[in-house]
Amino acid sequence: MVQVRIEVEEPHAQFLQKYRDYGFSDQDALVRRAIERLRQELESESLDLEESARLYAEVYQTCQETQELTEAALSDWPE
């Protein structure tokens, strides 16, 4: 493993000191788990956004009314 030095605010340090209360063997294990959960959450959000964009693009391509509304909105958009 790679070692890194980080600075945390006091409430975070107090939380880390309670690592045993949360079932972790040490503070490092708690931090690794927190980072992994955040990574998974961010990747999931990214995939959700990509899927949403794909679906919107599909609707746009197949719906004449949506295309017309978009063009009308763009024509009124300031330059």
Model confidence over 22-78: pLDDT tens digits? 999 999 999 999 999 999 999 999 888 889 999 999 989 999 998 999 888 888 888
At residue 45, φ and ψ (nearest 5 deg) are: -60, -40
pTM given for the model: 0.64
Q: 39 in a domain, yes or no?
A: yes
pLDDT, one tens digit per residue, over 31-40 is 999 999 999 9
Q: 36 in a domain, yes or no?
A: yes
Q: 13 in a domain, yes or no?
A: no
Q: 12 in a domain, yes or no?
A: no
Give the helix/strand (H/E) hosting 31. helix 27-62
Reading the block at residue 52, the tokens are 């949403």
Domain extent, residue 39, equals: 24-63
Q: 34 in a domain, yes or no?
A: yes
**Band of pLDDT at residue 6, cut at 50, 70 and 90:** very high
Considering its fold, how many domains does the chain have in total?
Answer: 1
